[in-house]
Amino acid sequence: MSEKPQIIGLTGGAGSGKSTVAKIFQKHGAKIIDADRIGHEMLKPSSPCFVKAVKTFGREIVVKGKIDRKILGQMVFADERKLAELNKITHPYILKQIKEKVAIIKKSGYRGMVIIDAALIIQWGWKKRLDCIIMVNAPVRVRLERLQIKGISPKLAKKIMTQQLSPRKMRQVADRVIENRGSLRGLEEQALEVWRSLK
């Protein structure tokens, strides 16, 4: 076993199934750092990002005292400038939180795999910080279906997809690619094959 944990980036476009793959890895002993969960936390009133976001995008994004991610998403994914403004507010906080979580895991003496589940890990330029980048890819049809199940309209889902890095560009950077064709069993088999190869 390695003297230090393997730090692995897990990425993929919206609806690709990367969070499902993260759960599969977690069942086999990996520690997961979920960037999306950090994103949820930072939009709560207790977060330093809350005031900045409300000041930038207006009180209409606040519902029952919290920032409504759907309202905010519809706003920023329809306008590249607004998305850039949101990223400027949130990315430093997310990256700081991820670095702190990695540092805590390393100090704990853990020697297994640490999976950073983040759609934007390639755009952040983290390739050199990681031991490996795994991409989860899926056909557009599968991705749209998965996003609709989460309550995201086809129109908004397509806007989100166009704002993200294309699958072709992700492939150019990724060390491993898992193809999600919609079958959970098939996805799990591929994930475990990658898991074994990294072990």
Please give the C-alpha separations between residue 17 and each of 76, 132, 199, in angstroms, as whole numbers. 23, 18, 22
Residue 1 domain-assigned (yes or no): no
Task: For the chain, 199 residues long, give each residue's pLDDT as a single digit of tens.
Answer: 557 899 999 999 999 999 999 999 999 999 999 999 998 888 889 888 999 999 999 999 999 888 998 899 889 988 889 999 999 999 999 999 999 999 999 999 999 999 999 999 999 999 999 999 999 999 999 999 999 998 888 888 888 898 889 999 999 999 999 999 888 999 999 999 999 999 7
Beta carbons within 8 Å of 66's beta carbon, 6+ residues apart: 43, 44, 45
Q: Per the domain annotation, does 72 fall within a domain?
A: yes
The domain tally of the chain equals 1
Asked if 14 and 178 touch (Cβ cutoff 8 Å), the reply is: no
In which domain, by residue range, is 178 found?
6-198
Alpha-carbon distance of 128 to 85, in angstroms, equals 26
Give the domain CATH number at 68.
Answer: 3.40.50.300
The answer to whether 121 touches 11, Cβ cutoff 8 Å, is yes
Scan for tokens 């989860």, then name that residue: 136
Predicted model pTM: 0.91
Q: Residues 185-193: contacts with CB within 8 Å, 24+ apart?
A: 187/17, 187/20, 187/21, 187/24, 188/24, 191/21, 191/24, 191/25, 192/24, 192/28
pLDDT for the residue 163:
86
The reported pLDDT for the residue numbered 2 is 59
Instruction: Please name the helix (run of DSSP H) or strand (run of DSSP E) that holds residue 156, with its range, or none.
Output: helix 154-163
Dihedrals φ, ψ of 134, to 5°? -105, 130
